[in-house]
Amino acid sequence: MRKISATVLILSLFPIAMFAQSVYPGQHRNKITKHLRGDVKVYSFDLKDVRLLPSAFRDNMERDSKWLMSLDVNRLLHSFRNTAGVFSSKEGGYMTIKKLGGWESLDCDLRGHTTGHIMSALSYLYASTGDERYKIKSDSIVNGLAEVQYALTKVGQNGFISAFPENFINRNIAGQSIWAPWYTLHKIYAGLIDQYLYCGNEKALDIMTKAASWAYQKLMPLTEEQRATMLRNEFGGTNEAFYNLYAITGNPEHLKLAEFFYHNAVLDPLAERKSDLYFKHANTFIPKLIGEARNYELNADKRSKDVATFFWDEVVNHQTYCTGGNSHKEKFIHTDKVSENLTGYTQETCNSNNMLKLTRHLFSWDANPKYADFYERALYNHILGQQDPQTGMVAYFLPLLPGSYKVYSTAENSFWCCVGTGFENHAKYGEAIYYHNNTNLYVNLFIPSELTWNEKGVKLKQETVFPESDLVKLTVQTAKSQKFALNLRYPYWASGVQVKINGKAVKVKQVPSSYIVIDRTWKNGDQIIIKYPMSLHLAEANDNVDKAAVMYGPLVLAGMMGTEGMQQPAPFSDPTAYNDYYTYDYKVPLNLKTAIRIDKSNLNKSIQPVIGNPLVFKAEEGVELAPISRIHHQRYVVYWDLIKNAER
């Protein structure tokens, strides 16, 4: 464990600046003293300051909301109450509660994690919409957890809060077999903190501070050997949660807890710029780096900054598929071996969720457009398409095996980790559209939305049907003229971007993967029209130039290959009976087409748009391609074997 400097301990006696708006916006910031020691160049806006307008993103959010609101609070609290012995089977109503299945069943070590995710998701929805229904349901969950914590305190488990018994932690410390108890606690802790920040729930913070007191008493007496043994088990972002709590309270115990979860075996090699990630569990790794990012922001630890940045570069540049996702069977692959790992078990959605969280941290430090480019890629191609538009259910993997298809959860009998992060993904689309500092406003994503910039008294309305159209219109609303620089992202995939202000063309000197900066005094009603020309291009596998995906702008296009041989009824119709997603057989037809003829020098000759069907294209072989995010309930091919013209 790293030692804490005397300077940090002194600073920790005062409330420190918490969740810089950079990554953790919150409506409750009036009770937080802003004081970041790490350099932060730009900040995101509070979710309450961004309202989504009609689009595929808002559609996803509304389906997510419907699912969340359908889950009864008593069912979500059942395993917590069962563990705490709050009531017995003789009490009225207990036996009538229908138990949740899958990873929330009473015999699953991870039970309770979903309730944590749901607290976070409800808080995001409340901030994003202002709809009191989300706060009312949130309050009910928090009140139930407070009762459970009180009951456990009465039997000597002061502050412990969980849906599993404390003995799970004892087994973890002893190195005995157990499935990730601290990972589960992290989800609960993060949910409580989000409830405080976004819903203003003081009781949630009280539960969390008591939980931290329990953790401090539990962990501080451990030897270094015990600590190292315990950290071998997946613990999610527990370090991040305690850094965030410390940022709220300034309590040095909370900082020590965050430092306690520094995983030397994983992070020390990265600090030495060693990047052997092969076969490491990806979603075990990524949250550790998010915690390091928070440490840099709060304590100006340059080593933490360097580790987080190095890790991001290694994963994005050497481990990532064209869609922005990573991993095979949840593990990192050999460096630069994409074409050898196109299986039915690629791209765990939790990984993309956490990579986007890490990306937001890194972007806030220097506003480098490469981070925004990656964010857009993973958001449009993986996260947006995780959800089934028919049912609102979500996929665990985004498989890249040619001829595979997305496999979705069920409403009450799955609750995989990617269901939990899925609840969050589709509730917080407003978090990365806009960024700002005192003199600059950044437009990073082209998502229909309305922004309120309170510090400037400015509103910005973004209207677009992107990516169906390459036009984006921004309208400024302000009671008085305001001077600031508007930074419009010039994406890596665009060229010849055009900008008009109030109908007058603006000369664009910038190049792709940069920002078009317009510094002027803005008046009420000013309009900015931006044209982002999109074109076809290839995303070649990093180890085989003859295996590639077709892209249009930021969108990965996949071949739509029909439903022949797909299992009926839908796979995982009963995940409690069948959960073997590592060996799931997609029964790909032997005659499935996996090669297309491409003229690399002129893609428009080989692939042409289908008139009257936006974003659908046809290759020479008659294969139709569409954005991977829009392909559901049928087989697809993403990476193709390329047939060159010379092979005709």
Q: What is the mean pLDDT of residues 411-436?
A: 96
C-alpha dist (Å) from residue 543 to 164, 187, 204, 318, 335: 45, 37, 49, 10, 9
User: Which of 306-310, 520-524, 570-574 shows the lowest mean pLDDT across its residues?
Assistant: 570-574
Report the pLDDT value the prediction gives residue 93, as an integer from 0 to 100.
52
User: Coil, strand or helix: which one is 233?
Assistant: coil
The CATH topology of domain 434-531 is Immunoglobulin-like (2.60.40)
pLDDT above 80 for 603:
yes
For residues 472 and 446, is the Cβ–Cβ distance under 8 A? yes
Report the pLDDT value the prediction gives residue 8, as an integer from 0 to 100.
34
pTM across the whole model? 0.94
pLDDT tier at 112, thresholds 50, 70, 90: very high
Q: In what order do the strands lie in the sheet with 50-52?
A: 50-52, 449-453, 458-464, 471-478, 527-531, 498-501, 504-506
pLDDT above 50 for 15:
no
Q: What is the mean pLDDT of residues 482-487?
A: 98
**Three-state SS annotation for 360-410:** HHHHHHHCCHHHHHHHHHHHHHHHHHHECCCCCCEECECCCCCCCCCCECC
Under 8 Å CB-to-CB from 139, ≥6 apart: which residues? 199, 201
Report the pLDDT value the prediction gives residue 97, as an integer from 0 to 100.
83
Strand partners, 527: 475
User: Which of 12-16, 393-397, 629-633 shows the lowest mean pLDDT across its residues?
Assistant: 12-16
Q: What is the pLDDT of residues 142-154, one digit of tens each?
A: 999 999 999 999 9
- Cα separation of 386 and 64, whole Å? 11
Q: What is the pLDDT of residues 222-243, one digit of tens each?
A: 999 999 999 999 999 999 999 9
C-alpha dist (Å) from residue 79 to 97, 149, 166: 11, 13, 14
Torsion angle, alpha carbons of 356, 394, 135, 114, to 10: -90
Q: What is the DSSP letter of 28?
A: T
CA-wise closest residue to 394 among 60, 54, 57, 55: 60
pLDDT above 70 for 41:
yes
Q: What is the pLDDT of residues 213-222, one digit of tens each?
A: 999 999 999 9
For residues 504 and 300, is the Cβ–Cβ distance under 8 A? no
pLDDT above 50 for 27:
no
* N residues, the chain: 648
pLDDT above 80 for 88:
no
Average pLDDT, the chain: 92
Q: What is the mean pLDDT of residues 200-216?
A: 98
Report the pLDDT value the prediction gives residue 9, as an integer from 0 to 100.
33
pLDDT above 70 for 90:
no
pLDDT tier at 248, thresholds 50, 70, 90: very high
Under 8 Å CB-to-CB from 469, ≥6 apart: which residues? none
Q: Which residue has the tokens 């229909």?
A: 448
pLDDT above 60 for 10:
no
Report the pLDDT value the prediction gives residue 510, as an integer from 0 to 100.
97
Q: What is the DSSP letter of 522?
A: E
- Cα separation of 249 and 32, whole Å? 9
Q: What are phi and psi of 372, to 5 degrees?
A: -65, -35
Report the pLDDT value the prediction gives residue 13, as an integer from 0 to 100.
32
Q: What are phi and psi of 192, to 5 degrees?
A: -65, -45
C-alpha dist (Å) from residue 62 to 277, 357, 441, 613: 37, 22, 28, 25
How is residue 600 written in tokens? 């690399």
Report the pLDDT value the prediction gives residue 567, as an integer from 0 to 100.
73
| Angle (deg, nearest 10), helices 238-249 and 252-260 | 170
- Cα separation of 44 and 432, whole Å? 7
Q: What is the pLDDT of residues 57-82, one digit of tens each?
A: 999 999 999 999 999 999 999 999 99
DSSP letters spanning 333-368: -STT-GGGG--TTB-BHHHHHHHHHHHHHHHHHH--
CA-wise closest residue to 633 among 570, 585, 555: 570
Where exactly are the structural domains of the chain?
Answer: 1-37+71-261, 434-531, 536-647
CA angle (633, 634, 638) in 5-degree steps = 120
- Cα separation of 458 and 479, whole Å? 8
